Amino acid sequence: MKKQSSSFKIFSLSTVWLWLCVFALIPIILTLTTSFLTPDSNSIVKLIPTISNYLELFNPGYLRILLQSLYLATSCTLVCLFIGYPFAFIIARSQHQHKSLLLLLVIIPFWTSSLIRTYAIMAILKAKGILNTVLLAAGIIHDPLQILYSNTAILIGCVYDLLPFMILPLYANIEKLNQEYLEAARDLGANWFTTFFKIVIPLTIPGIIAGSVLVFLPAMTMFYVPVLLGGAKNLLIGNLIEHQFLTANNWPLGTAISVVITLLMGIFIIIYWRHSKEDDRESLT
């Protein structure tokens, strides 16, 4: 039965569409367009179409930054996965009465300002920071570790920031895992190791993918974490874009970088989408 469109429906849809068109779709189109225009020192852009912005990206300097960002994002994702998976698994399968409290303790950092948490890592890692103070006092090291302002610090900061984003989707997925699969595996003679790698991991792949995407995407475009923890010398893609917009005044180049990154991310988003659909289908069994 086809309904007449009610005035409320029209109002809702128009409001939503109007807002999103003006503040999401049009800006996206503008970004795309600008990436094909020429920079101009007076009025931001000259209306001369060109693909030179994209060609400039093949400059080894830029490629190096891209690779570094990829490297950071991948390392961050893997570390988060290795730390986060066992953790999510233990909590999700526990029979503990305070299970929801345990989960809440993970959600709290998730809601907290990531800037504040990055700052907290600074406090720990700096030369006169907690880590060094403790290690020196314990006699484990004799000179303070210069971790701050290095790639390692950026990685630590990144993992610290994004770990809850890995844990939460993993938890949600592992919790839904039917206990009977594990029992059936044990009944058939599988030891813990086999059960984990042949049954648990394959059946929780949607969670792994969800968590990985939610960590990888922000990790690629982090921009204040490298500034605070890496000092001025470690440039990543986020910093590069910022530089083009706010310092170098080369907006077309900045947008070109953004477009390329977005396309790269688009691939990951599609993988995520596909797997979340499959998850729905399998859980109907």
Partner 1 sequence: MNNNIIELKGVSKRFGNYQALTEASISIKNGEFITLLGPSGCGKTTLLRLISGFEKPDTGRIFIDGRDVTDLPPEKRHLNMVFQSYALFPHMTVYENVAFGLRCKKTAETEIQKRVLDVLRMVKLDQLAERKPNQLSGGQQQRVAIARAVVNEPIVLLLDEPLSALDYNLRKNMQIELKQLQRRLGITFIFVTHDQEEALSMSDRVAVMNEGYIEQLGTPKDVYEEPTNLYVAEFIGETNIFNTEILEIRDNKLMVEVEGKRFAFNNKKDLAEKQQIHVVIRPEDITVWGENEITHEESKNMLPGDVEQVIYKGSTVELIVRLPSGKKIAAAEFFNEDDEKLDYHITEKVWIDWVPGWEVILPHEETI
Partner 2 sequence: MNTFSKYFYTICVYIFLYLPIAVVIVFSFNNASHSLVWQGFTVKWYTALFHDNVLLRVAGHSFLLGILAATSATAIGTLAAVSLFRYRFFGKKILNALIFILILSPEIVMAISLLLLYSFLNIPLGFWTLLLAHITLCIPFVTVTVYARATTLDTDIFEAAMDLGATDFTIFRKIIVPLLAPAITSGWLLSFTLSLDDVIISYFVTGPTFDILPLKIYSMVRLGIKPEVNALCTLLLAFTLLVVMISYQSIYKKKD
Rounded least distance, CB 221 to partner 2, Å: 4
**CB under 5 to 8 A by kind: which of partner 1, partner 2, none does 203 bind?**
partner 1
**3-class DSSP string for 60-101:** HHHHHHHHHHHHHHHHHHHHHHHHHHHHHHHHHHCCCCCHHH
Shortest Cβ distance from residue 206 to partner 1 (Å)? Answer: 11
Q: Choose between 81 and 261: whose C-beta lies nearer to partner 2.
A: 261
Minimum separation from the CB atom of position 98 to partner 1 (A):
16
The length of the chain in residues reads 285
Instruction: Return the amino acid letter for 120.
Output: A
Are 158 and 222 spatial neighbours (Cβ–Cβ below 8 Å)? yes
Question: Which one-letter amino acid corresponds to residue 114?
Answer: S
Q: Which is nearer to partner 2, 43 or 60 (CB)?
A: 43
Q: CB under 5 to 8 A by kind: which of partner 1, partner 2, none does 260 bind?
A: none
| Cβ distance to partner 1 smaller for residue 19 or 192 | 192
Least CB distance to partner 2 at residue 188 (A): 19
Q: Which residues, at least 6 apart from 14, have a Cβ–Cβ distance to it below 8 Å?
A: none
Residue type, 19: W
Nearer Cβ to partner 2 (187/280)? 280
Residue ranges binding partner 1 (CB under 8 A): 178, 180-181, 183-191, 194, 198-199, 202-203, 281-282, 284-285
129 binds, among partner 2, partner 1, none (CB under 5 to 8 A by kind): partner 2
Closest separation between CB of residue 180 and partner 1, Å?
A: 4
By beta-carbon proximity to partner 1, the closer residue of 38 and 178 is 178
282 binds, among partner 1, partner 2, none (CB under 5 to 8 A by kind): partner 1
CB of residue 213 vs partner 1: minimum separation in angstroms?
20
Instruction: Output the 3-class SS for 237-283.
Output: HHHHHHHHHHHCCCHHHHHHHHHHHHHHHHHHHHHHHHHHHHHHHHC
SS3 label, residue 142: coil
Q: If contact means CB under 5 to 8 A according to the sort of partner, which of partner 1, partner 2, none does residue 31 touch?
A: partner 2
Closer residue to partner 1, CB minimum distance, 105 or 282: 282
Instruction: Select from 47, 171, 35 the least CA-distant residue to 100.
Output: 171
CB of 274 to partner 1, least distance (A): 16
With respect to partner 2, which residue has the nearer C-beta, 60 or 109? 109
Could you say which DSSP state residue 48 is in? Answer: E
CA distances for 19 relative to 9, 62, 147, 198, 224, angstroms: 16, 35, 45, 47, 29
What's the half-sphere exposure (Cβ side, CA atoms, 13 Å) at 219? 32
**Which of partner 1, partner 2, none binds 27 (CB below 5-8 Å, type-dependent)?**
partner 2
The interface partner of residue 183, options being partner 1, partner 2, none and the CB cut-off 5 to 8 Å by kind, is partner 1
Are the C-beta atoms of 104 and 254 separated by less than 8 Å? no
